[in-house]
Every structure is written in structure tokens, then in C-alpha cells.
A and B are shown apart, each in its own frame.
Chain A
Amino acid sequence: MSTELIASRQNDVIEEFALFDEWMDKYEHLIELGKDVPAIDAGRKTDDHLIKGCQSRVWLAADEGEGGTVHFSADSDAIITKGLVGLMVRVLSGADAKAIAEADLHFLDAIGLHQHLSPTRSNGLASMVQQMRLYAAALAARRA
């Protein structure tokens, strides 16, 4: 079920961004998302949860939910990164651990923001996705 959940959430994001043709409009939306995104609990915005990008910093917290699901919350000191981090949480959070570990994340590509996952951006997003998958994979392995 969770694989479909992740796929349908990705499609929602793709549809939402399809409204914007212009690069800058897309970013305007991303910035709005970044301002709205529920940030990580202040108490968890600690070095333990910090993923250091070269340019922007990302904090990620992961919790085990019911039935082998994983709940994420995340934050960043840069608004655009925060918007991207929020999208990633929206797509993956609450899904089944195994589905997260194996998820085919194509939505950033589809909405033309894939460059933010490139190592040259050094914004912490790629490392965050890796952390999410690692956490999920470890949980899935424990439950297997």
C-alpha cells in the first residue's frame, strides 16, 4: 500500500507544480512552502539531527510509527531548502519503512528541481534523502 501512497503523493506534488511554467514562479511557490512548512520541534533542532550541507544546513528527525511506518520532520536555515525538505517529508512521512527505503523518487525531476539533489548544490538535501532511506532500511531490517 505504501508504495502507492508515495507514488500518489508524488503525483500530487507534480500536479501542484504543473501550474507554474516559469522557473521563478516555481521558486515563488517553493518559498511559500518553505515559509509554511511545520518546522522541526525546537528541542530537536540540535547537532544530533543536523545534516551539514556545505551551503545550507538541514535538520532531520525520524520516528517509528505504528505498523512499521516512519514519521519525519525536518527544517533548514535556507527557505528554498526548507521548501524542498518539506516536499520530501510530505512525500515520505508516514509511509511504510520498506517502501521509503526503496522509493523511486522522481518528483523533483518531474517538476524540474532535480538539480537540488545534485552534490554540487551542497544544500544538504541529497544527504537528507540518504539519511531517510538509511533510517527506513534499518527499521525495515529490524522488523523483517
Chain B
Amino acid sequence: MTRCCSNTHSGNRVVARRLIFKFLLIVLALTSLFGSALASAAQPTGLLREYCFDCHDGVAGEGGFDLAGSLNQGDFDGTLVFENLITAKMPPSDAEQPTAAQRQVILKWLAAKQKKITPISFRRLSRHEFVHSVNDLLGVDLDLTGEIPEDRGTRDFDSDRRIGLSKEMLASYFAVADKMLEQAFPNDGFPQEQIWNTNKLKDSHQTYNIYTRDYQDGVLFSWTRANNGNSYSFFYDNFDPPTAGWYELTFEAAKVGDFKEDVSIQVHAGKYYYADDRPQPQRLLEVISLGNRVPQSHTIRAFLEPGENVSVHCYSKHTFRKSDPQQGVYIKQLLVRGPLQDWPPNSFQTVFGDLPMRGSQSQGIARELPPQVPVVSGVPLAKSGYQSNLQKIGGSLAVSSFQKGMEKEKLQDGSNQTFWHTRFEPTLAKPPHFVVLKNPRAAEINGLSYAAWSGGNGNGLVKKYSVFVSEDGRNWSDAIVTGELEVRLANEQPIQFPAPIKPRFIKFLVNDAKTVDGRSLASIGKLDVVLPINRDFSRTKVVVDSDSPESLKLVVKRFAQRAFSTQLTDDELAPYIALAQQELVGLGHSRDDKFVRAAKVGFKAVLCSPRFLLVPGEHSSPGYGQAANLARSLWLSVPDAELLAAAADCGSSELSEEEIRLQIDRMLADQRSDRMIESLCDQWLNLRSWDKVSPSLKLYPKYDDLLHHFLPLETQAYLAHLIRENMPVTQLIDSNYTFLNQRLAQHYGIDGIIGQHLRRVSFGVEVPRGGLLTMGSILKVTTDGFDTSPILRGAWVSKNIVGTPISPPPEAVKAIEPEHGTAAARTLRELIDQHKNNATCYACHKSIDPYGFALESFDATGQWRQKYCVELPHRSTFQFRLEGYFRTAGDVDSSGEVDDRRFNDVFGLKELLLTDHRRVGYNFAKKFFEYVNGYAPSLEQRLALMAMINDQPNDCRMKDVVTAVVVESMSEKTR
């Protein structure tokens, strides 16, 4: 039989394959038509009798499987028999084998016999597809998938057609569409870009001062792993993102220390926590790798939300917890620019394209938009360039009394380790104790921000307070707020005024304070005013200079056609146009933003339409349907202009196969296909569970955030390489290279890799890496973070790589439970080997457990091991230490036996798997088919998939399989 998988596709070959496929269909149709006649006339059942019934006959059949009996049952499902035959698992190697032709006869017969299960004809757009599509439609880049529920349930693939659309999903699509439209076309306009410059860190507990110190013009970070093993975040002060958007963060930084490795800065965003080394909900934005000894600019881009601050974690393996390190990361300063905005904004260009646009402040002509000049915010910094809010509004302080060294200035220096204290020497100041904040320019103030001073004996910490206001500093109002403060809390505690006010004087009166010695005292770490969030920073509205209902119709039509991948008639468009036009009228004449606002309503209807949210959509011609299918499968998005043009070109017919192949080629080379790679890793390889398990710090003390970040990226890079470069499918199992950076190379014990960018690294045959099975990501995701489980790992390999059909455990089988007492199984292996003692268990577990045994050479983080480790208890509070808390125990035994073939270790297992590349290729084809189509292929479709697998290991290649499956999925009957 001709195979279609090869590097080159001659047109003839393609045609030949199609013909063969059609022929095959005819044969199948005939077979089913004359099913009973043929069966009795011998061939397939005769062959089964000849090759299978010897063992599988009667209730006492091998593996408890009575094939002969099953065949006669009306509802017989031949999938298991089919899979065992097509992957040559059966008949067993020591038994007589059918010829290839005979095998085909049986397979076709089984395929024809399979009860027709028509897959559900549609599915809902997945949340990832929704967000990517809307981003591409609007020309923005927002990751809001987290705001849509994960509705996959226990299904493997997001595309699974059995996942129904729920009200909750539709509701979140409505809500997320709003957010994305608002980001693309903000009602209040685009905020003007600003610049911040900072080298000051927010306060942290003194415990952490051993990890940083002042150095030259900035700060030297030596280590950020705290006593409990978690990372401590150092937050930058003087930069608060005023609005959600993309920001450019430039770290002027250098490596300090005499060693060859790079040091890294992990840049996070999250809410500021004072002195907190427990895991906080922070997002890792990027890792910066430093090899330069002289400060250089390292720039990253990140989406930040108001309320988030930027923090850094820095590691330098040489200086763990030394109080005076001479090594680490030197950050001279952080320069921030943003929110970044293309001008004119990309979203307007994408959607309103050729209509005249202008900035709302400009009276100019079309497209003349105001230039964006960055506004410098904050103060260009000297070393301690902190400016309080009160100072920003030109205010000052007065206090009732002070102790020398604890003056009022200490309230305003941005630190709560320095503090103001009422006088206690030489005489004790009498109450009332108070602070007056002066606001000479009568700026608007929302409230006060109080922080207790940290450290010390707690004398004077404020417990109760009242706030008064005055215009002249003499006549005071009644208390506008009275309240209590938490004394043990080091965070800022906000004191909200009932309404924003503009008093010239504010008095903070201490009504009650903590005292350890009975004296009347008061002390405060920080006291500042809270200003209204600066919303009036300059914004520029983009105005589309039109109020024509016709233009509006055109804009909505263009948008809808892109979203739906179709040509729409006026009739079809009517509901959407009417909605937008009605809004246009409703908004009245005076508003200059009415056109954009009206268009937004129309767009939202498009994004919530069944034409957009249900797959397949409604398409004016088959070509448009195929374009949508291609874009969804490879980009998780809507077609781009080129795909739409191709669909338009082919009129009422389908895209030619040649065209489809050209498009697949182009689309795989495009960066948007990274989304498909990531989805495959998440859904096929189950890396979506990545974050759910954190390895034990006692057993795996070296596992850190960097490793956690990079391990899945290795897998993505490798899979992307296999597909884009069309590498043999055998490289799923083994190769002499992978994609590493410094941290991953350290983890794998490979020397000489410096810097944190991923690159292709080759190694010798003695290295167990190469291929998916021995990647840290896969090895970790199949454990619970403590112990490895050969069953979990074995099941992963069996399901995702080898594709062994596993029937569910038979009814009434009790799970293995070890016996107690003297007969107790001693090792995990002995425990699992109990499967052997039970024929019913062993029937399946013999195809699961051995793969797991081979991978026992790797611990729960994927590091090579020869002995097991046993956790040791720690004394009192857990203290992180690099050597961990464990002792080594028994030797790892990684030998096993699959299909009567023995292997000694993981190298042997890989060799064994490589002897049948067709099985691996066929399984990948099946998984990819399911990923694209949302249902498992029927037996008939599996025959077609197997036909895509080239007999020659070197000619059976990843991109060819991907292409063939996508082409197959474009055909009418698969959709």
C-alpha cells in the first residue's frame, strides 16, 4: 500500500492516495453491505479462527477474552481486537502471524462491522480559542482565559464535542468580550505613556536584609530563598501601574561574582506583601539572564494591572544566605515605560481601517493623531529618592511632640523600620498625641494610610484613632473618622474618609496606644495621605470621523465576516446591523465617540453569536468552512486575510488539496502555531496539570521557580522543532538532542551551558535524555511531588505514546491491597508486581507497569537516580537547607518486560519502543486527529490514519503526519 508520508509530495502521489482512500471506502461499503454473506463465506472470520481462536476461545480464553463467543454477540465492539491487530500487538510474537494482506482484510472487516457512532455534529468554542480569536480580531493581546471556567471536565482535549455549552460559559463569554472590547476601544481613550525610574525597594522585614545590600548606585541581590524554602519577593517602590496595559520594563543590571554561570532575575508582578515569604499569588513575567559584568539594559514587556507591583527574585547559587556576599545580581535601576500604545492604535487600524480617524483633542484632518510624548512620573531618582504622597501635593507635617532620632520626617521616608515617637526623654510628653498633615494647595484627599513601625517592643503602637479636619489649623471639625488599628500588622492600613475632601489641615489623633510599661506614648512607622487614583492623566480618545449608518454597517459587516469566516448577505447581517445602528441613533448627535460605541455593541453581538461560538460555523462556501477549520486547528483562531482570500478565490468549491497543504505549511511556520504546540503539550501530554504539584522541599530542595518555569518550555520547544522541522516520529521516543538552558542543563547534569535562553543541545549516547519520556516535565507531571508512581507513569506512556488499548477494569475486581503483618510486601515494586498474581489485573497492567519501572531511574523532578530517597523528619519548624532531609535507601530496579521482550533500563525501553515506529506514529496520528476533530477516530478513520504512517522509520515524519491528519480532517465526512 502506498504511504503518503514523506518529505516531498508529488501531486501524483497525493492523487493516488486519495484514489486509494476512495477505493477503500468502496470496499468498506461493499463489505458492510454484504457483511453477513462475506463473513460466512470465510475470509475474515476464517482468518480470526486461524490466528486468534487458538487462544481466545471460550470463557477460559487467554486474558479472560472469549473472542469466538464475543463475535456472535450483537453489540460486539471490535475496537480492542482492531487496535491489537493494527499495532501488531497480537497475535503475540511467538505465535503464527497473518500476512500483511490478511491483517488488512480482518481490519477492514472489523471497521465495517463497527457500529456506526455518529459523533455530535458540533461543539462550543473552547476558552483558549475564544480568547485567541478575539485578540486576533481586535488586534490586541490580552490573556483573559483565566476568567472563563475550565469546562473540559475529565476529557483530554478542549475540542471534545461531548462538552456542552453551559449558561455559565456563555455568561463568561459575554463578560470577557466586554473586557476585550474595552481594552481595544477604551471609552475614556488611551492613557498617555509615562516613564518611571526607580531603584528603591519597598520595605521588607529585616530578616531579609541579608539577601540584599546597597551596592554602587543600586542594590545587590544575592539570594531570595527564605528559611522555609519559598522565594522572598523584593518589590520595587515608586512604580504603580496607573492603568491596565503593556509596559516596558528595563532593568539596568549586571552580574557580580567570579564564576562562569549567568545569574538570573525573575521578574514577577503581584500585590505587595510586607515581609512575606509564603507563596503569594504572583505572576512570573520573564526571566532575565545576566552574564555582563558592566550594567547593561535588559528589557522585557509585560501586561500589568493597577494594584500590581513589580518584584524580583534573584538567585546566585554561590551565595546562599551569607550576610555579606560579594556575588549576585546588581540592579542599578528599573526604568518603566507605558502603557505602551501603537499610534494610531492597532485595534483601530485592524477594525476601522480606512475610515478617517483623529485624536479627540486634535482638530486636524484625517489620521492626524497627536504624538504621544511620555510624561515623566515620580522623581528621577537619587539613592533614597522616595517621595510620599503628601510631599507630592506640596504638604508637610506637624506633630504633638517627638523623641530625638524619631522625628516627624521618619513618617514620610517610605520605611516603617524608622518611626516617629512621642517624647519620652528627658520628660514624658503628655497626651493628646497627634499628627497634623498640612495640605496648603487643598488637594483632594481620599483618606490616610497608616503603618505601624516594625521591630522594637511595640510601645506606642496606635490602637484607636480619630481624624479631624480644619481650614485654618485652629478650628477643628467633629471627628470625620474614628476607628481601630491592628497593632501586629506591618502592612499599610488604609483609613478611608467618607468622601474625598480637600481640607487644608488634617489631624490624626491617637486615642489609645499600646503600652508595655503603662506610660502614655504613641509611635507610627508611616503616615501618609491617600490620593484619588490619578484618572485625569492625559488620555487621548480616538475618534472615527463618521456618523454614517452606512459606514457603520460596513465596519460591522467586515468584522462579522472575519469572525464567522464567511460572506454574509444583508439579510443575514440585519440583526447585527440593526443593533449597532439603533445604538448609534440612541447615543444622539453630540457625542464624538458614538460611532465607536455603536460599533462596539455590534462587535459584541458578533462575538456572542452562535455563528462564532459554535463549531463548525455557518459558512457561505465550503472553502470558508475549511479556512475556519484550518485557523482553529493550527492557530486556535479565526482565519487571517490570506486564508480568507484563498477561500474567496475558490468560489463555491472546496480548497484544493494543494492549497490546503500550502496553507498548512505557511501556518505552521507562523508564530501563531505556537498556540497549537502549547495546547498539544497541555492536552495530549497533560502538561496542563503542571502547576498542580510542587515537589517536596525536603526531598527535592534544589527544585526552584526557575526550573519550574523552564521544564515545560523544553517540551514545547522540542515538540515545535519536531513538527516544524519535520523530524522523524521516532524522535518522540529518542534523539541525541533537546532544548536546554543553563538551569535545565544543571538539572540534567550537562555541563557548559551558560545563559537562560533555550537552545538546541546535543549529547552523547550515555545521556538518558532525548525524546519525551525522559524529559523532566513529563517525569514530574506523572508524580505527586513526593514519590514516583510506576503505575501513573506507565499509564501515561501507555496511553499517550504507545497507545495500548486498555479496557476498563472488569467489574467486581478489588483493587490490590497489600496484606498486613509479616507477609507485607516490602518494596513498591513487589507491591505492584502483585498485579502478576492476578490474571485479570495482569492482562492490562502488563502493558502499563513496565514502562513505569523503566522510568524509576528518574525521581519526581526528573533527575537521574540509582537509589531511592526516604524523607527524614525535621526538628521543630522546617528550615530549608540545600542538602534536603532524606537518606538514600534501596537500589532502583528499572528492568521490565513488555510483550515478552525484556529490557534492563530506560535505554533498553527506548530501543524496544523504537523497533516499532509505526505504533508510535499511529498513536500520535490518532491523538492529533482527536485534538483537531474533537472525537476519537472511528475504526475506518483509523485505517486511513495508519495508511499515513510510512513503513520506513526515517521517512515517517512529524510534519507529514500533522499535515496528513489536517488534510484528512478537512474532508466533508470528517467534519
Q: Specify whether A and B are partners.
A: no
